[in-house]
Amino acid sequence: MELKHRHIIGICLLCGLLGATSCNDESIVQQPPAEQDNTVYLAFHTAVVGASTRADGTPDDENINQLRIVIASKASDDTDGASAWEVEENRLITETNIQLSDEYTFRVKAGCQKRIYLLANCNGLEDTNGNLLNFSTRAFLPDANGKAPVDGYVFGLGDKDGGYQYATALEAGNGIPMTSVYEITIPPKDEAHEKDFANGFYQGMPKVLYVVRAATKFSFAFGKTAKRTINVTGFSLKKAIKDRMYLMPHVNKDADGKYWVVDTKDKDSHKAISTGEGTAQDWMTWMVAESEKAESEATQYQWLTDYEVPQPKEGEKDGNFDYSFSKAIEVSALKAGEEAKFTAPVYLPESDGTLAQGKDAKLKLQEYEVTIHTEEGFDEETTAPDSPKVARSYTATLPNLASLFRNTHVKVKVNFKNLSEAELNLEVDVEPYWEVVLDPVFGLDEKDDSKKR
C-alpha cells in the first residue's frame, strides 16, 4: 500500500459547517452571556480535507447547498433517559455552494451533554419505501437506549422513475448527502471550570467540524498495449450494495470502547497483524489524521473495518452492482509516459463486501471482485473501428481494498494487453484518508457473443 499526497481527486468526503455570513437572519451576535445566565456560546466552522492541495477547484461532490445543524441537549447529571433530552437548535441553511470559511455561533445551556448533528444536502431524501425522511425536532431526540430516529435512517437508491441517484442529484446541483454527529459535554459555569470558558465561549470543543459523504466513489482510466479495437461498456462489483445507505455513519466500538482500526505494516493489507486499535476520541479524528499523512510519514496503514450497513429485505440477497457507461469508452493506445484520463466517477453506497478468505476473521478485512465488460475485436489483427465485435469480460479480486467504508475513492487504472497474455495490468489507488497502489491480475473470462460478430 503506497501512500501518496492526500486526495489526488479527493473524494475525501469530509466537509462541514458554515458560517453566519451566509444566513444573516439566523446569525447570533457574539456577546458574552450575562453572569447569572447558565448559557454559553459554541462557535465552529468546517473545512474540506485536502482541499488546499488541489489546483483544479472544488469538485461538484464537495459542494454543500443545504446544511442542517441540530443540537440536542441533556443535563449531564440527569439519569432519566429519553425524557431528559431536548433540541436547542434545528437550523437549516440553504444557499448555492455554501462557503466553508464561515463560522456559526450558538447559544446553549452549560452543564449538559450535547449531540451536534450535521446534515448536508439531505432534504428531499426518501426511505426505501419512497417516504420522505423526517428532519423535524422529534427525529433528533434519543430514546432510553440513546438512539434517535435519525440514527437509524436508511435512504433508498434506485433506477425507477423518481428514485434517488447520486449522479442525478449532482446533475441537478443538489450535491451528495453528507452527515456526521459529534458528542461533547459542557461543564457547568462555576469557579471549578472557569478555565473552560473565555468571554462566554466554551473552549473545549473542536474549532472545525466535518461531515462525511454518504457514498463511495469509483473512477477508471483505460489504456492498452494491445492492437485490437477495445470499447469498455461497463463494470460489475461483486457482493456490493446498490439500493440503500445509512444516512448516519454506523461505526462500531470494541469491548474497550474504541473504534476498530486495523493496522498493516506492508503493502498487503491482508497481512495485518494487529487486532485493531481505537482513536483517541472518535473515528472522525482518525480519518482526518490519515488524510494529512505525507508519504514520508506513512509508517503504518490503517483500515476502518468494523461498521454496519443496512441489511436487505427479508428473503433478498445482495448481488452485483452492475454499471453500464452511457456511451462505450474507446480505449486508446498510450505513448510512453502517457497517462490515461479517468472516466466520470461512479457513486455507490458503502458496502461490507465478503470477508477475506484465509485471513483472521477478527480483523474483519474485506475483499471485492470487479469485472470489466468490453466489446472488442475478435483477435489482435482486428483493428478497424467498424469490424465485427465480440463481448468479453475480465475479472479480478482487488487485493488491499480491505474496506469500502463511506468516503472511499477507488481509482482503477487498467491496461489491456494482447490476448495471448490473457490478462490486464491493473493499478488501483484508494483515497482519501489513505492511498494504496494495488496490482491485482485480471484473468480473461472470454464470453463470445455470436450476435455481436
Whether the pLDDT of residue 81 is over 60: the answer is no
In this prediction, residue 301 carries a pLDDT of 60
Whether the pLDDT of residue 53 is over 80: the answer is no
In this prediction, residue 73 carries a pLDDT of 95
User: Using CA atoms, how far apart are residues 26 and 217, in angstroms rounded to an integer?
Assistant: 35
- Residues 6+ positions from 122 with CB-CB distance below 8 Å: 66, 68, 133, 135, 177, 179, 247
For 225-284, the pLDDT digits (tens) are 888 889 999 999 998 999 999 999 999 887 777 777 777 665 565 566 555 554 434 688
In this prediction, residue 14 carries a pLDDT of 36
The strand ranges marked E within 45-153 are 66-75, 86-94, 104-109, 112-120
Whether the pLDDT of residue 305 is over 60: the answer is yes
pLDDT category of residue 12 using cuts at 50, 70 and 90: very low
**What percentage of the chain exceeds 90 in pLDDT?**
32
In this prediction, residue 184 carries a pLDDT of 92
Beta bridge partners of 115: 72, 183
- Please answer whether residues 367 and 402 qualify as being in contact, where contact means their C-beta atoms are separated by less than 8 angstroms: yes
Whether the pLDDT of residue 97 is over 90: the answer is no
For 187-240, the pLDDT digits (tens) are 998 877 889 999 999 999 888 888 888 999 898 999 988 888 899 999 999 989
In this prediction, residue 91 carries a pLDDT of 94
Q: For residue 350, give the nearest of 243, 217, 216 by alpha carbon.
A: 216
Chain mean position to CA 137: 26
Question: Most confidently modeled of 43-57, 117-131, 150-164, 264-278?
Answer: 117-131
For 354-397, the pLDDT digits (tens) are 877 767 777 888 889 999 999 988 877 766 777 788 999 999 88
C-alpha cell at 194: 472557569
In this prediction, residue 8 carries a pLDDT of 29
For residue 267, report the phi and psi dihedrals to the nearest 5 degrees: -80, -10
Q: pTM of the full predicted structure?
A: 0.82
- The residue among 353 and 436 whose pLDDT is bigger is 353
C-alpha cell at 407: 468516503
As a whole number, mean pLDDT of residues 287-310 equals: 72
Mean pLDDT, the chain, whole residue set: 77
pLDDT category of residue 7 using cuts at 50, 70 and 90: very low
Q: For residue 165, give the nearest of 321, 309, 12 by alpha carbon.
A: 321
As a whole number, mean pLDDT of residues 59-78 equals: 83
As a whole number, mean pLDDT of residues 158-163 equals: 65
> Which DSSP string do the residues of 419-446 spell out, in sequence order?
GGG-EEEEEEEEESS----B---EEEEE
C-alpha cell at 297: 510519514
Helix %, strand %, coil % of the chain (to 5): 15, 35, 50
- The residue among 177 and 436 whose pLDDT is bigger is 177
